[in-house]
Structure formats: structure tokens, C-alpha cells
Amino acid sequence: MNTTPTVTAAIVQAAYVLVAFLFITGLKRMSSPATARGGILWAGLGMVIATLVTYLQAPEIGINLYLVIGATVLGGGVAWISGKRVAMTDMPQMIALYNGMGGGAAAAIAAVELYRGDQRGLAFGALAVLGALIGAVSLSGSCIAFGKLQGLIKKSFRFSGQQIANVLILAVAVVLGVLIATGVNTGSSVVTGFFVLALLLGVTMTLPIGGADMPVVISLYNALTGLAVAFEGYVLNNWAMVIAGMVVGSAGTLLTQLMAKAMNRSLGNVLFSGFGDTAGAATGPVTGTQKPIEAADAGVMMAYAQKMIVVPGYGMAVGQAQHKVWELTQLLQNRGVTVKFAIHPVAGRMPGHMNVLLAEAGVPYDLIADLEEINAEFETADVALIIGANDVVNPVARNDKSSPIYGMPILDADKAKNVIVIKRGQGQGFSGIENALFYLDNTRMLYGDAQGAVNQLVQAVKAAG
Amino acid sequence: MNGVIAIYIFMLAGFTGYEVISRVPVILHTPLMSGSNFVHGIVLVGAMVALFSAHGPLELVIGTIGVALAAGNAVGGYVVTERMLEMFKSSGKAPNKGHHS
């Protein structure tokens, strides 16, 4: 603040170059398990530098500076506390919320510029408006996504003509946006109307989408927020925002596609079909009976196995059984049993979520294999232990064309010599589809809650001597 | 800002993001999404600049909301990503698993 303007500008620009470098390197490191921890530290350092040099651009000490400091402390403080407290199982919706905040911030930047009403050319206006639209949709859409995953919004509001309504809202918002961007009418009532419609669009777009598809939507909004930030970066002549926002925009788009692919869904399907929570009408006839087993017998079977593959599902995490599962794994490893974890892409609430939950319990990531890596190994496994997973091991997906999950890639747990399924009772899974695996000759059902049942297995293995 | 140069930068940054992420294993999808969510928290510097230059009650209110939201994005994004990533560790028996195909 005491230096001359040109020197200050040069320092800020140089710092932003460094920040862009730190962000890209950080993201690169975050894409490999061995270096991921360092990656977030690099990116975090970049953020601190970017924030500090921005204070060099502060005007005279006054109300604006106080508001910046106050708002940073308030927003950052609330996020810090909530981020430290959130349970690992609730992580997806928390990410959605933080992402929505970023979108809202991008929209707020645009609002400050647009309400001011000074025109600096078509590119300026167009990108300010586009960033505002995307940012506002991301804000309200992410809030709905949070509400759905948190269980605050239980229904999926659908009515006929919903798509048409969405298109109409978008069309009117675009018309208003064009008026503002071209400088034809930059009145504050037009700007207000534009923002109201943009926020409304985020709500109406997201409400019909089912909970199971929500991770893909959150990832999409994450990419969109990146774009909005990049566009507002152009408006503010801020290269760090342009580069970081654009990198996230494209990386997020790719990540969204990877997630949709892992869930066997196309992006268009997710956004416009509303499957996410409707399946379950068609349940093909499944013959046979479920055969129960006692924990003591199952424990002995595991203790004398060569190789066991554990298939954890969201039910394991909800039952907080992952720590007991790791204890069981270590006991078996000490007896010379090879234990691996097979993770389906949609185990947990989003791709990779189950890995986080297992990591929390202390399971090393090199024991964990994804579907492509492990599917061929089930044939060589003596025991497949299914905990709280259902649809992702249902062989119906392979061979029953009438099933709603037909074609979904599944873990071939049924090919193991013995299958032990830990399950509360004889009910159906999340999607309401009968699971043929439970009726196979080599399957035994261990009834009970996940934590209690695994604890009994631990005792049984210990008793096996 | 020169328009043509801006288009180059948008394009090259887009390719960079794509390349950086393209070989990420599924096990890191959630933390990486969270990490990229943190990176667009850079919107904080923009929100700060916008509020620095704000005049009048309306701009000040919107600007303040913007900074608070942006700070939430940056800080929250960092905290949850760091919490997830610090849990990932190797058993030390197997070499670092490079990724499949």
C-alpha cells in the first residue's frame, strides 16, 4: 500500500504466475495416491499467496477493507469449523455446499459489476453475464443437491412439461442477459430479474434428479463453477482466476464424465431422465432359498482360507463397521490369509468415496482394488465377504435383460468358492431389486448389523487359534 | 486484456486441466473433485477486488456476501480435501500402485 502503483502491479502479477504454477502442480500431484497429500499443500500455499498479494491492491483504510477482512474471517471461520466436523460419510454433500459458495461468489462479483452498469465492451458484458448465470445456477443447484443428500429434501419433484418449463426459464434469462451484455438495458430491475431467474433455474434443474445420480450433478456444478470463475476473472482482468477457473472447468468436466461412466450412466441421462431413485418396479423371479450361517462357522471358514476378498458397501460405512473390518483383516493377515478389498465405482455415495471411508479406518490403499483390477481374482478367492453391498454384486445385472440394472458393471463375487453376505434381514436393496446372489448354493447369509456381525467374526477367528 | 490472447489462455488452460486429470485412478475421484473445488476458491481474490472497488450500500452488501461465500469455498474446500488425503497411506509392502491401463 506504500509502494508505487506500478511496483505493486508487478508484484501482484508475478505472484499470480507463481499461484497458477502451484495450483496446476498441486492438482497434478493430487491425481496419484502417493503424492496426493503434498498436492493439496501446494495448492493451499498458492491460495495463501494469492490472498495476501491481493491485499496490496486494497484502497485506503476504510469501510471496504474492514468488510473484506470481516467477511473473510466470517466465511472462512464457518467453513473451517464445518469442514473439520463433517463426518466422512457426509463428505459429498459438504463438497456440494462449498462448491455452491464458490458459484455464488462468482455471481456476486458479476452482480457488483453489472449493478454498477458501466460498459466496457461486448466481451466484458457477455462474459460477466455468462459467468453470473453459471455461478447462480451452481449456487442454487448445489444447495438443492446438499438438501437431497442430507435428507432435507426427500421427494423428487416432477411434473409433466418440466423440461419445457426449464427451457422457458433459461430462455427468458438469456434474453435478459443479452439485454444487459449488449448494453441495451442495464437497469437494476433487469439485472435483478436476470439473477432471480438464474437462481430459479438451478433449483428447477436439480429438483427432479434422484439422490443416486447426485454425485455426477455435484461434479458437474463443480466444473461449472470453475468456468464461472474463469469468466469473472476475465471481467476483473485477473489472470490467476482465468487460469485456475479454466483448469478446474475442464478437469471437472472430465471428472464428471469419468464418474458418469463408472456409474454406467450418460450425462444427458442423468440430467434429463430422472432415473436416480425410481428403479425397482421390475423384479424378476428368483428361485431358491437364502441359507443362513453362524458367525462362528463363517469365522472358521475365513481363518483357514488362502484368500478373501471383501466387498464393502455404503451399509458398512453407515454401520461404522470399517474399523472392525480392518481389525478382522489384520487378524487374518497374521494367519497368512491374503485379504483384498474390491471397490465398485458406486460403492459409497460417489466414486472414490468408499476409498476415503476405508482409509479413515486405516486400510492401506494398496490393499484396495477397483472393479477392473479385481474381477478376475474372485475365481481364485476362497471367501468373498459382502458387507452392506447389494446391487453392485447382483449377477442379475449380467444376465437378466428385463432388470433395471442390466448392463451395469458388477463385482463377480458369485464366482468365489464361498460367499458370506452380512445383512440386516431378508429385505431388498437400495433399488428394491431382488439379489440373485443371496440364493446361490455357495452363498451363506450372516444376519445382523454390520458392526456386530463383523465383531463376532473377529471373535470367531481369534477362537480358531 | 487483449481478446485474442485471452482466448489462447482459456484454450491452453482448458487443455492443461484435461491432461492433468486424465489418468486419475477411481480411488481418488472424491478427493480430487474436492481438491478442484478448492482450487476454484481462487474466486476469493476476485471477490476481494470487487468489494475493494464497491460504492454504495447495494454494491457493498453484495460484495461482502461474495467475499464471505468465496472464503467459505476456499477454506472449506481445503479443510475437507486435506482431511481426506491425509488418511491415504500405503501398507509399505507393495510398491506404489501406478494405475491400470
Give phi and psi for A444, each to the nearest 5. -125, 140
DSSP A292: B
A229 to B79: CB separation less than 8 angstroms, yes or no: no
- Average pLDDT of the segment spanning A341-369: 86
A-contacting residues in B 19-38 (Cβ below 8 Å):
20-38
Give residue A280's pLDDT band: very low, low, confident or very high (50, 70, 90). very low
Give the Cα separation of A316 and A322 in Å (integer): 6
Helix runs in A304-409, H state only: 314-318, 322-334, 353-361, 371-374, 396-399
Mutate which of B7, B34, B40 to disrupt the A interface (most A C-beta within 10 Å)? Answer: B40
d(CA B68, CA A407): 45
| Grid cell 472447468 in the structure block, residue | A249
Using CB atoms, which residue from B16, B45, B79 is nearest to A84?
B79
Which residues of chain A are within 8 Å of residue B86 when distances are taken between CB atoms? Answer: 37
Segment A246-264 shows an average pLDDT of 87
| Mean pLDDT, rounded, for B88-101 | 51
What the block records as the C-alpha cell of A286 is: 428368483
3-state secondary structure of A343: strand
A430 pLDDT tier (thresholds 50, 70, 90): low
- CB contact under 8 Å between A112 and B51, yes or no, is yes
pLDDT at B1: 54
**B84: nearest CA in chain A?**
A356
pLDDT at A272 over 80: no
Question: Which residues are registered as beta bridge partners of A386?
Answer: A311, A421
Are A36 and B88 in contact by the 8 Å Cβ rule? The answer is yes
For B91, other C-beta atoms within 10 Å of its C-beta total: 12
Alpha helices in A207-294 (DSSP H): 214-235, 239-262, 267-273
Residue A173 has a pLDDT of 95
- Given a cut of 60, whether residue B72 has pLDDT beyond it is yes
The band of A40, judged by pLDDT with boundaries at 50, 70 and 90, is very high
Which residue shows C-alpha cell 464424465? A257
Reported as a pLDDT band with limits 50, 70 and 90, residue B66 is very high
In contact, A233 and B2? CB cutoff 8 Å: no
ipTM (interface predicted TM): 0.89
Check whether A208 has a pLDDT greater than 80.
Answer: yes
Instruction: Name the residue of chain B whose CA is nearest to A227's CA.
Output: B40
Q: Which residue among A71, A92, A364 places its CB closest to the CB of B68?
A: A71
Q: Annotated catalytic, A391?
A: yes
* Residue numbers in B near A41 (CB within 8 A): 82
Mean pLDDT of B52-61: 93
Dump pLDDT digits (tens) for B24-48.
887 788 899 999 999 999 999 999 9
By C-alpha distance, which of A154, A456, A83, A92 is closest to A299? A456
Alpha-carbon distance values, B7 to A12, A106, B40 (Å):
22, 20, 19
**Which position among A277, A391, A400, A414 bears the catalytic label?**
A391
Helix A91-116 with B29-39: angle, nearest 10 deg: 20
Predicted local confidence at residue A46, as pLDDT: 96
Residue A6 has pLDDT above 60, yes or no: yes
Q: How confident is the model at residue A278 (pLDDT cuts 50, 70, 90)?
A: very low
Is residue A333 within 8 A of residue A339, CB to CB? The reply is: yes
Encode pLDDT of A137-155 as tens digits: 999 999 999 998 888 887 7
Q: What pTM value is reported for the model?
A: 0.83
CA neighbor of A108 nearest in space, from B77, B69, B72, B73: B69
Q: Please answer yes or no on whether A359 and B88 come within 8 Å at the CB atom.
A: yes
Measure CB to CB from residue B30 to each of A246, A247, A353 and give the nearest one.
A353
Asked if pLDDT for residue A2 goes beyond 70, the answer is no
pLDDT of residue B101: 35
Residues 6+ apart with CB under 8 A from A172: A197
pLDDT category at A334 given cuts 50, 70, 90 is very high
With a cut of 50, say whether residue B100 has pLDDT above it.
no
pLDDT score at A357 = 87
Q: Does pLDDT of A412 surpass 80?
A: yes
B99 has pLDDT over 70: no
How would residue A300 be classed by pLDDT, with cut points 50, 70 and 90?
A: very high
pLDDT confidence band for A185 (50 / 70 / 90): confident
| Average pLDDT, integer, range A308-325 | 88
DSSP letters along B16-76, please? HHHHHHTT--GGGHHHHHHHHHHHGGGHHHHHHHHHHT--HHHHHHHHHHHHHHHHHHHHH
- From the list B32, B50, B60, the residue facing A109 with the nearest CB is B50
Q: Which residues of A touch B26 (CB under 8 A)?
A: 258, 262, 343, 345, 351-352, 355, 370
Q: Are A113 and A126 in contact (CB under 8 A)?
A: no
Partners of residue B20 in chain A, C-beta under 8 Å: 24, 27-28, 31, 247, 251
pLDDT exceeds cutoff 50 at B22: yes
State yes or no: pLDDT of A279 exceeds 70.
Answer: no
pLDDT at position A273: 65
Tell me the Ramachandran region of residue B11: left when phi exceeds 0, alpha when psi lies from -120 to 50, beta otherwise.
alpha
CA A270 to chain centre: 14
SS3 category, A403: coil
pLDDT of B92 reads 60
Averaged confidence pLDDT in chain A: 88
Chain-wide mean pLDDT for chain B? 86
CA A228 to chain centroid: 19
**pLDDT mean over A437-458:** 91
CB B52 within 8 A of CB A58: yes
